[in-house]
């Protein structure tokens, strides 16, 4: 007798290609298969957010808003889902509350049904503005627990956090295991604890990086998790998610059911195989990212961070430093109070680890983002940071202790005025707000106002490290 049904979120349009090849799949490669994906029986299609916005305007010369509208037009029966970084939205700093509300409004109008909202520090204060906006526009707010391992990140910690998020007004909760480090029996214990505490649905997101993801999903589903994330097989495994078809077949054989049409899944997989092969051939998809690395359980580095970290060291002709950087990441993370490795913290910790290794001296070179973090501009660290370490970097400068966004004045109208004649829509203003330099360059090209040379379009090495890499 079947016990319960588990829902499936498909990630191939967002997290799968983000984790495997730095978010380079184009809209034109996606669109021909969307109508078929709409018939499969997925709970949702994760197709936007994360790094898709940045990559679209930075590397693909595509308008991410147009991608969203095009997908929505072809998938009227399946919910569209995005990953939103709380007060950071899709950028790399905190934005004013008016920007947050306007972004959620426009994302809703353009097609997003489910907003998966996380804060890199699991600081609930940083979720307030986006949660309020999602509720205002009558969409589904899925609040996130960013899973990581440290002396403070216990089952009790996560259970209390999840209950707090439910009481804030979450429609569902997601355990976001961005590094693929949630092991099977811990998942069983964690899901069991959360299901006893929560009255709303529970989702689980993991990555196949460490080699335990399918076992983790199986035990989590048996423990009562309601939804899981998978990727169609050509873009599955490695730093991506477990394969959709395999999970559906395995679960259907037991006491769980899925709603997925296996015949259509096979056709969708056949569609994506040549796309995967193209990216393998041009080396944008590195075979290294498709393998299993149990060291992820030691270093706790997310898939997207791994692929981008390796790509950046390759660009710097320093791939021999890869293992050294991986070993440095946990040390930096400990210094910073054990933040979960998810954007923007994964990007910041990764950048600092790279600088520490390449300069040969720890904290000889410190990005401004790390200094801002130590000032409290990103929120409250999971564990208090050593006063000695803080003073080593920012001396005796003041530290914010309340909600960081309370210190940011409204920005939308100012940025609209600053953008001038390029502000043809509210979406254009938001593109500029999130990415002032490349956003403006993109809009100039979009409206054919002036040509932007390749030299101007490229950022310097630190900017590339800071933005193109470590995004999750």
Query: Which pLDDT value is given to residue 304?
Result: 61
Other beta carbons within 10 angstroms of residue 39's beta carbon come to 13
Cα–Cα distance measured from residue 388 to residue 382, given in angstroms and rounded to the nearest whole number:
18
Average pLDDT of the chain?
92
Asked if 412 contacts 433 with a C-beta cutoff of 8 angstroms, the reply is: yes
Q: Which two tokens stand for residue 203?
A: 């989702």
Read off the pLDDT of each residue in 138-147 and give the average, rounded to a whole number.
97
State the DSSP H helix or E strand holding residue 227, giving kind and residue range, or none if neither: strand 227-230
Q: How confident is the model at residue 391 (pLDDT cuts 50, 70, 90)?
A: very high
Residue 370 pLDDT > 60:
yes
Q: How far is CA 208 from CA 37, 63, 212, 267, 306, in A?
A: 22, 30, 7, 23, 12
Query: Which pLDDT value is given to residue 454?
Result: 41
Query: Which pLDDT value is given to residue 1?
Result: 55
Q: How confident is the model at residue 471 (pLDDT cuts 50, 70, 90)?
A: very low
Residue 440 pLDDT > 70:
yes
pLDDT digits (tens, 9 = 90+) for 161-208: 999 999 999 999 999 999 899 999 999 999 999 999 999 999 999 999
Residue 397 pLDDT > 70:
yes
Q: What is the DSSP letter of 469?
A: S
Q: Is 304 left (phi over 0), alpha (psi -120 to 50) or beta?
A: alpha
Read off the pLDDT of each residue in 232-249 and give the average, rounded to a whole number.
97
Q: Which two tokens stand for residue 183?
A: 């092991």
- Cα 228-234-239 angle, rounded to 5 deg: 60
Asked if 203 contacts 229 with a C-beta cutoff of 8 angstroms, the reply is: yes
Per CATH, domain 4-288 is 3.20.20.70: yes
Cα–Cα distance measured from residue 307 to residue 294, given in angstroms and rounded to the nearest whole number:
15
Domain boundaries defined on the chain:
4-288, 301-401, 418-468
Per CATH, domain 301-401 is 3.30.43.10: no
Read off the pLDDT of each residue in 226-233 and give the average, rounded to a whole number.
98
- Cis amide prior to 344 (ω within 30 degrees): yes
Cα Rg of the chain, angstroms? 21
Query: Which pLDDT value is given to residue 254?
Result: 85
pLDDT digits (tens, 9 = 90+) for 317-358: 899 999 999 999 999 999 999 999 887 888 899 889 989 998
Q: Which of 57-66, 175-184, 293-302, 429-438 has the lowest mean pLDDT?
A: 293-302
Query: Which pLDDT value is given to residue 452?
Result: 45
Contacts of 102 (CB under 8 A, 6+ apart): 412, 426, 429, 430
Q: Which residue has the higher pLDDT, 416 or 254?
A: 416
Residue 396 pLDDT > 80:
yes
Residue 379 pLDDT > 70:
yes
Q: How confident is the model at residue 450 (pLDDT cuts 50, 70, 90)?
A: low
Q: How far is CA 112 from CA 73, 77, 119, 141, 296, in A?
A: 12, 13, 19, 11, 32
Other beta carbons within 10 angstroms of residue 448's beta carbon come to 7
Residue 155 pLDDT > 70:
yes
């Amino acid at each position: 007798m079947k016990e319960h049904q588990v829902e499936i979120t498909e990630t191939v349009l967002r997290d799968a290609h983000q984790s495997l090849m730095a978010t380079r799949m184009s809209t034109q490669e996606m669109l021909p298969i969307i109508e078929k994906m709409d018939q499969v029986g997925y709970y949702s299609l994760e197709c936007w957010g994360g790094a898709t916005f940045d990559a679209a305007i930075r590397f693909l010369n595509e308008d991410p808003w147009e991608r969203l509208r095009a997908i929505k037009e072809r998938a009227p029966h399946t919910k569209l889902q995005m990953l939103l970084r709380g007060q950071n939205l899709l950028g790399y700093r905190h934005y004013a509350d008016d920007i947050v509300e306007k972004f959620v409004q426009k994302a809703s109008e353009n097609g997003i049904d489910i907003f998966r909202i996380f804060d890199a520090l699991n600081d609930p204060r940083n979720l307030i503005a986006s949660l309020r906006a999602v509720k205002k526009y009558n969409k589904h707010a899925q609040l996130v627990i960013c899973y990581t391992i440290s002396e403070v990140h216990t089952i009790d910690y996560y259970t209390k956090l999840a209950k707090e998020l439910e009481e804030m007004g979450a429609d569902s909760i997601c355990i976001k295991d961005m590094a693929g480090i949630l092991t099977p029996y811990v998942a069983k214990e964690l899901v069991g604890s959360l299901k006893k505490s929560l009255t709303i649905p529970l989702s689980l997101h993991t990555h196949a990086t460490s080699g335990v993801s399918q076992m983790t999903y199986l035990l989590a589903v048996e423990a009562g998790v309601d939804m899981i994330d998978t990727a169609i097989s050509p873009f599955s495994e490695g730093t991506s998610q477990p394969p959709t078809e395999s999970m559906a077949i395995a679960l259907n054989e037991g006491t769980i059911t899925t709603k997925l049409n296996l015949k259509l899944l096979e056709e969708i997989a056949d569609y994506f195989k040549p796309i995967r092969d193209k990216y393998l051939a041009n080396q944008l998809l590195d075979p290294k990212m498709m393998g299993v690395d149990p060291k992820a359980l030691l270093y706790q580095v997310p898939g997207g961070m791994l692929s981008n970290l390796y790509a950046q060291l390759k660009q710097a002709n320093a791939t021999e430093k890869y293992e050294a950087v991986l070993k440095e990441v946990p040390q930096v993370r400990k210094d910073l109070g054990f933040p979960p490795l998810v954007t923007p913290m994964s990007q910041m910790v990764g950048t600092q680890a790279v600088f520490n290794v390449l300069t040969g001296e720890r904290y000889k070179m410190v990005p401004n983002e790390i200094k801002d973090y130590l000032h409290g501009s990103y929120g409250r660290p999971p564990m208090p940071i050593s006063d000695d370490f803080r003073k080593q970097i920012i001396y005796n400068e003041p530290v914010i202790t309340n909600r960081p966004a309370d210190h940011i004045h409204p920005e939308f109208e100012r940025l609209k005025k600053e953008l001038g004649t390029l502000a043809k829509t509210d979406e254009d203003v938001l593109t500029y707000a999130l990415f002032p330099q490349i956003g403006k360059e993109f809009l100039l090209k979009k409206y054919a106002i002036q040509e932007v040379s390749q030299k101007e379009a490229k950022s310097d090495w630190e900017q590339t490290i800071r933005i193109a890499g470590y995004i999750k």
